Structure 1
Amino acid sequence: MLQAGDLAPDFELPDARMELLRLSSFRETANIVLYFFNKDHTPGGITEAVEFNELLAEFARHDTVVLGVSLDDCLAHEAFREEEGLDFDLLADTEGEVSRLYHVLTEWQAQGMVRYGIERSTFVIDKAGVIRLALYHVQPKGHAAEVFAYVKQLGQLNADR
């Protein structure tokens, strides 16, 4: 598992518009809330995405970008963004490579087949690319507000330097 103080693994994934987004492209310009969710169009996925979306302006005031990652493909993400009115990027990790890097991919056996899913998790990454907060096993309801409180505190700590 990744922890606060670890360097965030860099990656490149396509967003809902099928444009590649590289995590390190935000270095020195923005903090990042990188959250992993299991699936578009699920009750928990909707709750978490809508709550992050409602706080986007507040995150932006603290130089923070929100990025969501799941195993869904770009087309599913685009439909989800449109249906829920989301204004932040959703990244398609269809092969689970990035989910493995962040230790959020789970695997289990069901009816003789191996299934994969994402353990709902969130990482706050600072402008230097260092993980400042790593949360595994999160609950969707109220999670965005909890993460925003941390980002706000992080901004105050940086302002005091």
Structure 2
Amino acid sequence: MSAVVVGEKVPEFTLAATGDQAISLSSLLGQGFVVLYFYPKDDTPGCTTEGKDFTEHFSRIEAAGARVLGISRDSVKSHEKFKCKYGFPFELLSDEDESLCTLFDVIKMKNMYGKQVRGIERSTFIIDNQGVLRREWRKVKVPGHVEEVIAVLEELSD
């Protein structure tokens, strides 16, 4: 399966999520925008900051007609602990087999302590009501990112 492209429909997916549920793209369509943010690992400094930023601005994201979903390769059990620890008001999806990470082409070779490792490149995507990918951010730097996502959501909502 080839990677998603801005302006095209995102293929159907279903992943296990927090709250003892499975979330599929088809179940989200028609309910507003979907913000998918891929992050490397639960309970690490950058990922915690990013989750807190989405939490801090959650009401503005909802007001722009969007739903937030965080995705990493961690297990649902790990996600539940991470979500509970920081009180995230959105669900976290577990992509242990990297199917969604592969679809969105976010698995990259990264340098960690001088070694090459495969990991998730921090990335965010906005999908519209019809399942079309409207915007993508790759190699995300956390500071100011959520505000940028909100600005685009507000622009798309007009």
Deviates more, 1:68-77 or 1:12-21: 12-21
**Match of residue 40, structure 1, among 32, 39, 42:** 42
Q: How many residues align?
A: 154
Shift of 1:18: 3.2
Q: Deviations over 1:102-129 (max 9, x none)?
A: 100124699xx98431011110111011
User: Equivalences for 1:61-80 in 2 at 5 Å?
Assistant: 61-80=63-82
CA separation in 2, counterparts of 1:146 and 1:105? 23
Q: Work out whether residues 2 and 134 of structure 1, in 8 Å CA contact, stay in contact via their aligned partners in 2.
A: no
8 Å Cα contact 1:27/1:127 also seen in 2: yes
Structure 1: tracts of 5 or more residues without a match: 157-161
| Secondary structure, counterpart of 1:38 in structure 2 | coil
* Amino acid corresponding to residue 123 of structure 1 in structure 2: F
1:104 matched residue in structure 2: 106
Matched, 1:54 2:63: no
Q: How far did residue 151 of structure 1 move?
A: 0.2
SS in 2 for 1:103: coil
TM-score, normalising length from structure 1? 0.89
Q: Tell me the distance in 2 between the aligned counterparts of 1:109 and 1:53.
A: 29
Q: In structure 2, what residue type is equivalent to 1:138?
A: V
Identity %: 35
Residue type of the partner of 2:10?
A
Q: Which residue is equivalent to 2:153? A: 151
SS in 1 for 2:142: coil
Cα distance in 1 for partners of 2:148, 2:4 equals: 19
Whole-Å separation in 1 of the counterparts to 2:108 and 2:99: 12
Counterpart in the other structure of 2:25: 23
* 2:64–2:150 Cα contact (<8 Å) kept: no
Trace 1:132-143 onto structure 2 (pairs within 5 A): 132-143=134-145
How many Å apart are 1:141 and its aligned residue?
Answer: 1.6
Distance 2:67 2:110 in 1: 32
Return the TM-score normalized by structure 2.
0.90
8 Å Cα contact 2:19/2:91 also seen in 1: no
Taking a change above 3 Å as real, the CA distance of residues 114 and 9 of structure 1, as seen in their structure-2 partners, is farther
Q: Mean Cα displacement is larger for which, 33-42 or 2-11?
A: 2-11
Distance 1:8 1:104 in 2: 15
Instruction: Give me the whole-angstrom Cα distance separating, in 2, the residues matched to 1:85 and 1:126.
Output: 26
Unaligned runs of 5+ in 2: none
Q: Indicate the RMSD between aligned Cα atoms, in angstroms.
A: 1.9
CA distance in 2, matches of 1:126, 1:120: 20
